[in-house]
Amino acid sequence: MDATPQNKVLSRLDESLLTHLPPFSRLDRQQIRAILDQATSRRYNAGVSIFDEGAPADRFFMLLDGYVRVVRITPTGEQVTALHIPAGQLLGMAKVLGRVTYPATAITATESIVLSWPMRLWDSFIQDYDGFATETYKTLGHRVGEMNTRIVELATQQVEQRVANAILRLISQTGRKVPGGIEIDFPITRQDLSELTATTLHTVSRLLSAWEKRGLVASKRKRITVTDPHALVVLSQG
Amino acid sequence: MDATPQNKVLSRLDESLLTHLPPFSRLDRQQIRAILDQATSRRYNAGVSIFDEGAPADRFFMLLDGYVRVVRITPTGEQVTALHIPAGQLLGMAKVLGRVTYPATAITATESIVLSWPMRLWDSFIQDYDGFATETYKTLGHRVGEMNTRIVELATQQVEQRVANAILRLISQTGRKVPGGIEIDFPITRQDLSELTATTLHTVSRLLSAWEKRGLVASKRKRITVTDPHALVVLSQG
DNA sequence: CGCTTTATTGACGGACCTCAATTTGGGTGG
DNA sequence: CCACCCAAATTGAGGTCCGTCAATAAAGCG
């Protein structure tokens, strides 16, 4: 954690940080102030867990800045990435699903800034804040849709298509324009990609090498830039 | 549909049909009567769709009797089964997810009896009926958990383990004791199983044949009986 | 008793995983 | 600033799981 005391950090949090975020967009300044006053703010380094699968779900979170991977760990220790969550979304909403423990582990992919509240405030947020419930359910619906898509992909597509789709999804969620293409704007290893697509880092490496030769992507260590998105889309369709 | 007029059928629906079902279990007779009076009852033959992916979500449903497969259809026409839903559960709850269309297609696996209500009643059900919301979210949470499990399975397990797991899940959800073992109590083809486990009917057939030789299962056309559940559990762990 | 749906089984090939050996790049400490 | 070290990435060889193609067989159903 930052050496700066939390309340200091908090007092600097401007209401405008939340006003444009969907779950809070219909609230007035005063309501948002109240929400911020109850929040704890924290900075996480890259690669650390925010909460762990199976742990008591005692807080819920809003990712203000950074990226988070939601992963499950198998009995044999393999990691499977279920979702990527970009800044501006809620996470750890176990209560929505009628759960008392977190269903998966959340790991920061970059340095991240996260607000959190005790789970006991959840019900009052839902009741008191107009639009909070609706937007929460929309987020949830979106994630269910994503999970569904993943299942269909895993069930029907070849590795090459899955990797192409994963990269396309990442640049659509978190892409950043750079000279020569669009870059995934957080560090991602071949290993990470392989956990996203249910394959091995070797296969991902081979695919990226082949694509690079054909001019579809350019990649450095932990960095991937798509230079020909259209061709990648074509590939992803099989 | 049955030739009997709907209201005739409805009038015969006893309150006791709903009282033991989680979403309604905290309600009194009068409330349940009101709910039933707004419901439409319908019988479906096996293998027909209750609602289709992408269609406007204008009704939500309660499966009173039978089994339903929730499937998605790929651009190339392949079917992927996302979930199996047993009697006593709600389905088509698009509104929970903030959606206006159904996210998947629901197909009856057996002859089924289904109640349904116009989606515009959803919000009032949530508000007026104690426990309805909670139980709905619990159901949803359970399904999200199942989807998660499927993703992990697809990502990490071999076909043999996936098929074993699928069968174990089916008998735990819908198993019926018969002389010599536990039977999946609705008709299920090799094709159905292959759509559940993301493989081909050929591979499923080979696996079942091998298991039958080893005395783990017994199967006839559209019928599968597990004769040695423990051994199947061992197999499913790899 | 034909006809359709469902299931079985064999042969073959290919996609992708496993094992293994290097290479590259970037950070760090002297 | 250079040498060192470790994480990340590359690439080859070989094997295997499982899908594809193909041909029958068995089971219901009218």
Asked whether residue A16 falls in the same domain as residue A96, the answer is yes
Does some domain include residue B1?
Answer: no
Within 67-96 of B, beta carbons closer than 8 Å to A belong to 72, 74-76, 78, 80, 82, 96
Whether the CB of A148 is below 8 Å from some CB of chain B: the reply is: yes
* Residue-wise pLDDT tens digits, A222-232: 999 999 999 99
The pLDDT > 70 percentage for chain A reads 95
How many domains does chain B contain in total? 2
Distance of alpha carbon A66 from alpha carbon A88, whole angstroms: 9
pLDDT at residue number A14: 85
Residues B15 and B131 in one domain: yes
Tell me if B97 and A72 make a contact (CB, 8 A cut-off). no
How far does the CA of A80 sit from the C1' of D9, in Å? 21
Domain boundary among A108, A136, A154: A154
> In what side-by-side order are the strands of the sheet with B217-220?
B175-178, B181-184, B223-226, B217-220
Looking at the structure, tell me whether residues A83 and A172 fall in a common domain: no
- The HSE-up count of residue A26 (CA atoms within 13 Å, CB side) is 11
A154, A175, A193 - which closes a domain = A154
Note the CA–C1' distance, A195 to C19, in angstroms: 20
Assess if residue B76 is contained within a domain. Answer: yes
* Mean of the per-residue pLDDT values of chain A: 92
Does residue A120 belong to the interface with chain B, where contact is any CB pair within 8 Å?
Answer: no
* pLDDT tens-digit readout, B48-84: 999 999 999 999 999 999 999 999 999 888 999 998 9
Structure tokens at B27: 């309600």
pLDDT at B9 over 60: no
Residue A117 lies in a domain: yes
Q: Check whether residue B111 and residue B163 sit in a common domain.
A: no
A102 and A13 in a common domain = yes
> Count of CB contacts below 8 A, A vs B?
96
* Residue A1 domain-assigned (yes or no): no
In this structure, are B206 and B169 located in the same domain? Answer: yes
B25 lies in the same domain as B95 = yes
* A72, A96, A98: residue with CB nearest B152: A72
Closest Cβ opposite residue A78 in set B96, B154, B156: B156
Which residues fall within 8 angstroms of residue B42, CB to CB, at 6 or more apart?
Answer: B1, B6, B113, B114, B115, B116
A203 beta carbon < 7 A from strand C?
yes
**What's A210's domain CATH number?**
2.60.120.10
Residue B207 CB: number of other CB atoms within 10 A? Answer: 23
Taking an 8 Å cut-off on Cβ atoms, the answer to whether A141 and B99 are in contact is yes
Chain B contact present for A22, CB below 8 A = no
Does B126 share its domain with B178? Answer: no
pLDDT score recorded for residue A7: 44
User: Sorting pLDDT into bands at 50, 70 and 90, what band is A179?
Assistant: very high
The answer to whether residue B192 is domain-embedded is yes
Q: Label residue A145 exposed, middle or buried (CB < 10 Å: 0-12, 13-18, 19+).
A: middle
Same domain, B70 and B179: no
Positions 146-205 of B with beta carbon below 7 A from strand C are 189-191, 201-202, 205
In terms of residue numbers, what domain contains A78? 6-154
Same domain, A46 and A137: yes
**Cβ neighbours of B134 in A, within 8 Å:** 98
Residue A227: inside a domain:
yes
User: Which of B104, B121, B153 is the endpoint of a domain?
Assistant: B153
pLDDT tens figures, B31-51: 999 999 999 999 999 999 999
Confidence band of B13 (pLDDT split at 50, 70, 90): confident
Average pLDDT on A73-98 reads 93
Query: At A12, is the pLDDT very low, low, confident or very high (cuts 50, 70, 90)?
Result: low
Position A81 confidence tier, pLDDT thresholds 50, 70, 90:
very high
How confident is the model over B175-192, as pLDDT tens digits? Answer: 999 999 999 999 999 999
Query: In a 10 Å sphere around its CB, with 0-12 CB exposed, 13-18 middle and 19+ buried, how is residue A99 labelled?
Result: middle
Q: How far is the CA of A206 from the C1' of D2 (A)?
A: 33
Give B14's pLDDT tier (boundaries 50, 70, 90): confident
| A182-186, long-range: CB < 8 A, 24+ apart | A182/A225, A182/A226, A182/A229, A183/A223, A183/A224, A183/A225, A183/A226, A184/A223, A184/A224, A184/A225, A186/A66, A186/A67, A186/A109, A186/A110
Q: Percent of chain B, pLDDT > 70?
A: 95
Please write the tens of the pLDDT for every residue from A49-74: 999 999 999 999 999 999 999 999 99
User: In the prediction, which pLDDT does B29 show?
Assistant: 93
Cα dist from A221 to A48, A111, A215, whole Å: 20, 18, 17
Same domain, A224 and A117: no
Interval B212-226 mean pLDDT: 97
Do the domain assignments include residue A211?
A: yes
- Asked if residue A184 and residue A66 are part of one domain, the reply reads no
8 Å CB contact of B147 and A148: yes
